[in-house]
Amino acid sequence: MEIEVGLVIREPWIDLILDGVKTWEMRSAKTAHRGWFALVRQGTGTVVGVARLVGCGEPLTVDEMIAARDRHRIPERMIRSGEVAKWTTPWKLADVRALDRPVPYRHASGATLWVKLDEAAREQLAALDLAASSDVPEAEPGTPLEAKKLTALGEAAEASGARPDADRSAPVANLRGPGGKRLGECVLSGGNIRNSHINLRPILGKFPADAIGGRNKDSKAQREILIDWGGPQAVLTDIDGTKSIFRARGWIGKFFAAADAREGDTVAVEETGPYAYRVRVLR
C-alpha cells in the first residue's frame, strides 16, 4: 500500500502520538482524508511514523475538551485559557507505527498541513507491512480494560527472572478504569519532575523485598515489577532501594508530560496483580 501524503505535527504532540498516548489530533476543521498517512515532525523534513485516520468528530466545547483529555492530551490550563480555542475538532487515529529510522522527503514551499510525499519517500514507506488492526470504534474514556493481561504478564516476568540493562517494555492492556489495591501516594517535587523520578520512600516497604535492589545495575534486585503508566507499553524495572526510585526512568518523563504533572501533584501507586503496578497523577 502506498502512502502519498503526510500530516505536519509539531512537538510535543507528535511524540505523544508516537508513544500511543494521544489518539486524537486536534485541528481547526474536519478533513475528508481517511486511511493511512505519514506522520511528519514539523521543521525536520522527515517522516517519523505512519497512522490511519479513521474519522473526525464534531468541534468540542471547553467542557468536552477537558473530559476527553485522555484522548488528545492537551493540558486543562491550555484549554481554559483559550490558547487552543481554534483546535477543537478531533481527528481520530488508529494503528500508529513509529519508524525505526526517519524517512526524509522533499517539503514543498508553503506546505503547513498536508504535504505530498515525493517518490523516494513513498517507495520507502511502501515497504512497510501496514495491515490495519480493525475499524472498531474506540472505547469510551474510563472503560475498564482487561486487568488479567497485566497480571499474567507480571507473573510471566516474575517467572522468567529477566533483568534488563535498560528500560524494558512489554505491550499490555492499559488499566485506566477502576480497580487495583492502593499502596499509597507520592508527592512530586520540582526535582522529581526535572530529573524524571518518583520518590517512593513513603511506600517503599509495601513493595516486595526481592524487587528492591542496591545503588547500581550490578546490585539489581532478584525480581522486577511491571509498571503500567498509561502508555502503550508497560515497563519492567526493579527499585533502587538506596534512592527509593524506580531504576528504569526512561518512561517517567513521558508519564509526566502526558499527565501535565507539576510540582505538588500526587502520584498514586496501585497494585494490580503479582509484581504488577499502576501509577497515576492525581489532581
Q: What is the pLDDT along the chain (283 residues), one digit of tens a residue?
A: 689 999 999 888 988 898 888 999 999 999 999 999 999 998 888 999 999 999 999 999 999 999 999 899 999 989 999 999 999 999 999 999 988 888 998 877 776 789 999 999 999 888 877 655 544 444 333 333 333 333 334 443 443 333 333 455 444 433 333 456 888 999 999 999 999 999 999 999 999 999 999 988 788 898 899 999 988 778 889 999 989 999 999 899 999 999 999 999 999 999 988 889 999 998 7
Q: Are residues 118 and 151 in the same domain?
A: no
Instruction: Name the residue range of residue 157's domain.
Output: 147-282
CATH code assigned at 111: 2.30.130.30
- Pairing state of beta strands 114-116 and 5-9? antiparallel
Cα distance between residue 158 and residue 225, in whole Å: 8
- Which three cell numbers mark 242? 538506596
Contact, 14 vs 42, CB < 8 A? yes
Q: How many domains does the chain have?
A: 2
Q: Give the count of alpha carbons within 13 A of 189, CB side only.
A: 7
Distances (CA, A) of 35 to 56, 92, 132, 224: 12, 11, 9, 40
Helix (H/G/I), strand (E/B), else coil: 72: helix
Helix (H/G/I), strand (E/B), else coil: 65: helix
Contact, 236 vs 164, CB < 8 A? yes
pTM for the structure as a whole: 0.51
Smallest CA-to-CA distance from 83 within 111, 55, 62 is with 62
CATH code assigned at 186: 2.40.330
* CB count in 10 Å sphere of residue 109: 4
Q: Is residue 101 part of a domain?
A: yes
Q: What is the DSSP letter of 161?
A: T
Q: Are residues 152 and 122 in the same domain?
A: no
